[in-house]
Copies of this chain bind each other. A is one copy, B any other.
Amino acid sequence: MDDFEVSCKGLYRALNIREKYMKLAFQRFPTTPSQFLRKIEGEQWKLDENVLPVFTSPPKDGEDPFCTKDFPPSLGYVARMKDGVIFVYKDAASADKHQPLNHPGPELATFIDDMNFLIALISQGPTKTYTHRRLKFLMSKFNVHEMLNEMEEMKELKKNPHRDFYNCRKVDTHIHAAACMNQKHLLRFIKRSYRVDADRVVAVLKGKEVTMKELFASLNLHPYDLTVDSLDVHAGRQTFQRFDKFNAKYNPVGASELRDLYMKTENHIYGEYFATIIKEVASDLEDARYQYAEPRLSIYGCNPNEWTKLSGWFNKHRVFSPHLKWMIQVPRIYDIFRAKNFVPHFGKMLENIFLPVFQATIDPNSNPELSVFLKHVTGFDSVDDESKHSGHMFSTKSPKPEEWDIVKSPSYTYWIYYMYANIARLNQLRKERGMNTFQFRPHCGEAGAVTHLLACFMTADNISHGLNLKKSPVLQYLYYLAQVPIAMSPLSNNSLFLEYNKNPLLEFHKKGLVVSLSTDDPMQFHYTKEPLMEEYAIAAQVFKLSTCDMCEISRNSVLQSGLSNEEKVHFLGANYLKDGPEGNDIRKTNVAQIRMAYRYETHCYELNLIKEGVMAD
């Protein structure tokens, strides 16, 4: 076998691996590569609508998004964790015997095999050379396309009535709820709350109820004097390469009491202020009409009660907006909880995170508020500082989650695998019940080892950041071939990990990776009242993006998001699931068909090369 064939066979198998894990969890794998894989295997490709994810449609006229009626009855099943994964059993008896219902999940041994294959592939000489050259070619090809067709693309857009960059839909695909307001908004809110609520009991300090006045007095502060400077939530030069300092910025005026009061769902006022702030942000998005956001709320896994509390907050304050799609973020802070003895082992954390969701899926009426909330949740995120190195290497010999009782955190890959395994089984169950499914959309490749990107290539519907794809041509090319969406936040990176003009966003976009723009934390990074527009404006200016580029990125963001099928049809056109120009409705997306054709032809050309390589002998 020559080098070319070796590379193609490796890449072919890698694509097959991703396809398998995507299907298993009702996550997305695009049509075009799927068709090529079938062709290589000599099979007929056909669309399997059954493996598509399900997102909750927006409420129809008069429908109450918080309605707790009409949930299906309990299945009477039993959910129980074994080896870090929740299994569903017909009843307690079969649970005791571990005879689970047939919800296929990933097999650990196979997963490790697949993973090891990919680890070998990304450092295999010929494949590195091959992918490096293909990526270089993709870059040059786009530059040529641009030089030849830029004016034609612009002409198409100019002829396109009603639609321009301002009124094509864009989704902020990566934003943390606790930082979704900008610093000025938070400042105003704090001042306003003090004017209205100074004498309200808002917290308990050292066992004693205190009013807002007393709370601020205990901090030697008067909100009237507060400024954006003293609020001190904005990232600056001090936070570069200092994730720890960045995390401290979540505390207004450096006081965790204020974070608890204003940015938490759980506090003495039942997270009322936080809910109000989020609803104000949502109302700004509704006013802007064409902008949507996918805020993350935290589930820590420290306590099984967290879901009930969070969904209680969601329902109590009716935190719903058609412009928001909710995500759950799970911080990877096992070591902290274990050190404080909050959890006995890693398995308990996983159980706290997933068991309540399985239970609410089996019997929605057992926790109607949670069931309502889950309808509006579209996926899971995994978050923390990726530059922290765990020292652990995930293998078949790794302790099972229930055996992981040391204080040290398991590796990123270990975390990712167990989250994925649970989500996959959960989605099986939910799909069976006709409920919405969840996407796995972790933070990945912001820093740390390239193996993070490898783990997510296997398990994630799409990722946030992806900066480190710069470091691995094989993975970068695989992300391209499989069209894995990447939510990039160059302003966030600029404050934390990578200077703006070194950001690979432009390079990725040119090569044809599916990138979207997101804000991450407007409170820490942005200056204006429209953080997502600020993000687009700065990218447009620094990278000199054309309107077609910007509209393509906007379109990517809708595709990547957890917006429902109805919404996607409305925002992108009826054929949005199809690849190439056929799937694009320029009247809705303002993306030139020339661009779509270029992307499609280029993608087919690359896949075809692999087919040739694989079928050579």
Which A positions have Cβ atoms within 8 angstroms of B?
150, 154, 157-166, 184, 224-230, 232, 236-237, 491, 494, 500-501, 525-530, 533-534, 536-538, 540-542, 544, 546-547, 590
Measured in the bound complex, the distance between the Cα atoms of B563 and A451 in whole Å is 59
Known: A158-B229, A530-B529. A237 touches B546 (CB 8 A): yes
Measured in the bound complex, the distance between the Cα atoms of B530 and A501 in whole Å is 23
Measured in the bound complex, the distance between the Cα atoms of B164 and A230 in whole Å is 9
Chain B contacts for A165, CB-based, 8 A? 228-229
Residue of B nearest to A544 (CB): B237
Q: Are B160 and A229 in contact, CB atoms less than 8 angstroms apart?
A: yes
Chain B contacts for A154, CB-based, 8 A? 229
Chain B contacts for A224, CB-based, 8 A? 161-162
Please list 24 pairs of residues, one from A and one from B, whose beta carbons are closer than 8 Å in the complex, sorted by A's number: A158-B229, A160-B227, A160-B229, A161-B224, A161-B226, A161-B227, A161-B230, A164-B227, A164-B228, A164-B229, A165-B228, A227-B590, A236-B544, A236-B546, A236-B547, A237-B546, A494-B544, A500-B541, A527-B540, A528-B528, A528-B537, A529-B529, A534-B534, A534-B537
Measured in the bound complex, the distance between the Cα atoms of B236 and A534 in whole Å is 18
Q: Are A547 and B157 in contact, CB atoms less than 8 angstroms apart?
A: no
Chain B contacts for A184, CB-based, 8 A? 166
Measured in the bound complex, the distance between the Cα atoms of B164 and A590 in whole Å is 40
Measured in the bound complex, the distance between the Cα atoms of B228 and A157 in whole Å is 10
Q: Are B534 and A229 in contact, CB atoms less than 8 angstroms apart?
A: no
Measured in the bound complex, the distance between the Cα atoms of B179 and A606 in whole Å is 46
Known: A237-B544, A237-B546. A158 touches B538 (CB 8 A): no
Residue of B nearest to A494 (CB): B541
Within the complex, the shortest CB–CB distance from A288 to chain B, in Å, comes to: 10
Residue of B nearest to A490 (CB): B541
Residue of B nearest to A146 (CB): B237
Measured in the bound complex, the distance between the Cα atoms of B151 and A121 in whole Å is 48
Q: Are A229 and B157 in contact, CB atoms less than 8 angstroms apart?
A: yes
Chain B contacts for A232, CB-based, 8 A? 158
Chain B contacts for A159, CB-based, 8 A? 230
Chain B contacts for A536, CB-based, 8 A? 527
Q: Are A501 and B542 in contact, CB atoms less than 8 angstroms apart?
A: yes
Within the complex, the shortest CB–CB distance from A187 to chain B, in Å, comes to: 8
For the complex with contacts A237-B546, A494-B544, A527-B537, 11 further pairs of A-B residues with Cβ separation under 8 Å are: A154-B229, A158-B232, A159-B230, A161-B226, A163-B227, A229-B590, A236-B544, A527-B541, A528-B530, A528-B537, A538-B541
Measured in the bound complex, the distance between the Cα atoms of B164 and A227 in whole Å is 6
Measured in the bound complex, the distance between the Cα atoms of B593 and A461 in whole Å is 52
Q: Are A237 and B150 in contact, CB atoms less than 8 angstroms apart?
A: yes
Known: A162-B225, A232-B158. A533 touches B527 (CB 8 A): yes
The 5 closest A-B pairs by CB, nearest first: A164-B227, A161-B225, A527-B537, A164-B228, A157-B229
Chain B contacts for A166, CB-based, 8 A? 184, 228
Within the complex, the shortest CB–CB distance from A216 to chain B, in Å, comes to: 14
Chain B contacts for A528, CB-based, 8 A? 528, 530, 533-534, 537
Query: Max chain B CB contacts within 10 Å: which of A228, A237, A590?
Result: A228
Measured in the bound complex, the distance between the Cα atoms of B237 and A49 in whole Å is 42
Within the complex, the shortest CB–CB distance from A520 to chain B, in Å, comes to: 13
Measured in the bound complex, the distance between the Cα atoms of B204 and A188 in whole Å is 51
Measured in the bound complex, the distance between the Cα atoms of B238 and A356 in whole Å is 57
Residue of B nearest to A491 (CB): B541
Measured in the bound complex, the distance between the Cα atoms of B530 and A530 in whole Å is 10
Measured in the bound complex, the distance between the Cα atoms of B166 and A542 in whole Å is 24
Residue of B nearest to A159 (CB): B230
Measured in the bound complex, the distance between the Cα atoms of B531 and A527 in whole Å is 12
Measured in the bound complex, the distance between the Cα atoms of B537 and A536 in whole Å is 13
Measured in the bound complex, the distance between the Cα atoms of B530 and A529 in whole Å is 9
Chain B contacts for A160, CB-based, 8 A? 227, 229
Measured in the bound complex, the distance between the Cα atoms of B500 and A344 in whole Å is 53
Chain B contacts for A158, CB-based, 8 A? 227, 229-230, 232
Measured in the bound complex, the distance between the Cα atoms of B343 and A133 in whole Å is 63
Measured in the bound complex, the distance between the Cα atoms of B237 and A546 in whole Å is 8
Measured in the bound complex, the distance between the Cα atoms of B544 and A231 in whole Å is 19
Query: Max chain B CB contacts within 10 Å: which of A162, A530, A533, A537?
Result: A537
Measured in the bound complex, the distance between the Cα atoms of B230 and A166 in whole Å is 13
Measured in the bound complex, the distance between the Cα atoms of B175 and A51 in whole Å is 56
Measured in the bound complex, the distance between the Cα atoms of B528 and A529 in whole Å is 10
Within the complex, the shortest CB–CB distance from A556 to chain B, in Å, comes to: 19
Q: Are B533 and A537 in contact, CB atoms less than 8 angstroms apart?
A: no
Measured in the bound complex, the distance between the Cα atoms of B154 and A264 in whole Å is 28
Query: Max chain B CB contacts within 10 Å: which of A150, A527, A538?
Result: A527
Query: Max chain B CB contacts within 10 Å: which of A158, A491, A501, A546?
Result: A158
